[in-house]
Chains A and B, each alone.
Chain A
Amino acid sequence: MNSELTETIISIAGIGSFLVMAISWISFARISMTAIEKRMAADGLPRPCSWDGVGARAFWIANAISLPVGSLLNPSWDLSIDSITVRRYATRFDCRLGFVFTISGYGCAAICLIGVALGYAN
């Protein structure tokens, strides 16, 4: 395939998925994550992620509620987040928004890795 065309496709796909990820990240963190943590605090449970340096817990929570438990990317034994408890406190809207966030995040990462492998990052 024409290398300029490939670069165009990778660039547009990468930037596009990045924008989707960014928007869904902000909306998930502001809408769903705060609601879930408020519900858990009302029931007396501690925060779902006890370690969180950079605010990445939005992604962890989205993974936990949208991916099936026990899959490769959402294990049932995970010391950074208690996915089984968090799932109980997520509404359907939260799950759908989290799914969009998760898929766009991993999709953007995959596209960018392909771009790096093809030599578009020097």
Chain B
Amino acid sequence: MPQLAFPTQTVTPSQWLSVLENDDIDALCRVNDTSSNQAVMAGKFFTLETDPASREILIHLKHLPMKDQQVLNQVTQCCGDETLALAGFLSRYFSEQNITKLNTVIGSAATAASARLDAFETAVVNYQKALNHLWSLSHNNHIGRGHAARIHKARLEVKKAYQQLQHRFAIELRRYAPEAWRAKNRGDAFSNSERGITLATRNPKSQTKDVRLNLENRLQASQLKVMSRLINHAGNMAIGLDASLRALKVMDIQEDGGDWMRESARQITGFGFGGALGLVIGRATFAAGSSVVAASGLTMAGPVGWIVLGTLLAGSLVAGYYAGSAMDRFGQERADWIMNR
């Protein structure tokens, strides 16, 4: 996963990355077209990976105009990893194309056009329309008490439209932050727009530690989606398989002339106990494991976090399986116990 760093003060790579081996420092410097004793200016990009994709990203960013690079640096200082969420949000809602679309709806009185807007865009359009209405009322040179009342009402409309816009802004912005960050309470900068404004106007010279811009690999994200779909299907298939095997057992006993109704009752009870309690114990294992991981501080993003997640999942699946088997036998015994009374 490509990683960019922005040093907060002018520093040489050999000082800044002193925790790494000298060979690694030299490799990184080669990728960044610098040397380990040459100072890197504060606010310049420095990539921390040596693969070709990172190099391409670095070259692409270096060709930005100087002013844009400075703005990018300041935004990442304030917002850290949330910068990517903000970028996604802005490119979705305030690209040239989208602004044109919004302006068309604001200008027209037709309601059919506004059916194509989503909730945030509707809030923006309503706010703009309220402002336009207030402007036209204030500039049409009427006077009188009726007119003043109309202007007062228009002001209230503007305030209401702005509140709706703030509410929608917070909701939509949060969609661009990955779920793992939201669960870890890292969306604070965007929990409401006032907080966002406060952070954006914070003193950019504050001495916080280096901010890294993680560029999520889109391929990884889509692989995660495929994996979750596979897990969903595998879960359903496992239940189907269990049920079929039990049905086969009952049918075998029926063919041999045995007491298949008793066996059927046993198997159904076992199915219920095994399935349900296997889930319960699997959940308990996963939750307890997550508590332990959080307490020990292993909650990291990226590949390390995924290894932890994989271990937790595997552990809970194994626990669920063994518990489910034991519960299955227990359930069958209970069915026998009832039938023997």
Contacts and interface: CB of A to CB of B under 8 A. Distances in A.
B294 A76 contact: yes
A53 B277 contact: no
B334 A15 contact: yes
Contact of A80 (B175, B184, B286, B326): B286
Interface in B155-190: 171-172, 174-175, 179-180, 182-185
A51 B283 CA distance: 13
A63 B283 CA distance: 9
B327 A112 contact: yes
- In which size bucket is the chain B interface? 35 or more
Contact of A74 (B171, B276, B280, B287): B287
Contact of A53 (B234, B281, B333): B234
Contacts of B281: 109
B330 A115 contact: yes
Contacts of B235: 52-54, 56
A1 interface: no
B329 A44 contact: no
Interface in A1-54: 7, 11, 14-15, 18, 21-22, 25, 43-46, 50-54
Contacts of B329: 116, 121-122
Contacts, number: 130
B284 A73 contact: yes
B273 interface: yes
Contacts of A89: none
A71 to B, nearest CB: 8
Contacts of A22: 272, 276
Interface of A: 7, 11, 14-15, 18, 21-22, 25, 43-46, 50-54, 56, 59-60, 63, 71-80, 82-85, 105-106, 108-109, 112-113, 115-116, 120-122
30 contacts: A7-B337, A14-B330, A15-B334, A21-B276, A25-B276, A43-B171, A44-B119, A50-B179, A50-B228, A52-B232, A53-B234, A53-B235, A56-B235, A56-B282, A56-B283, A59-B279, A63-B287, A72-B291, A73-B287, A75-B290, A75-B291, A77-B299, A78-B287, A79-B309, A82-B179, A109-B284, A109-B323, A109-B327, A113-B323, A120-B333
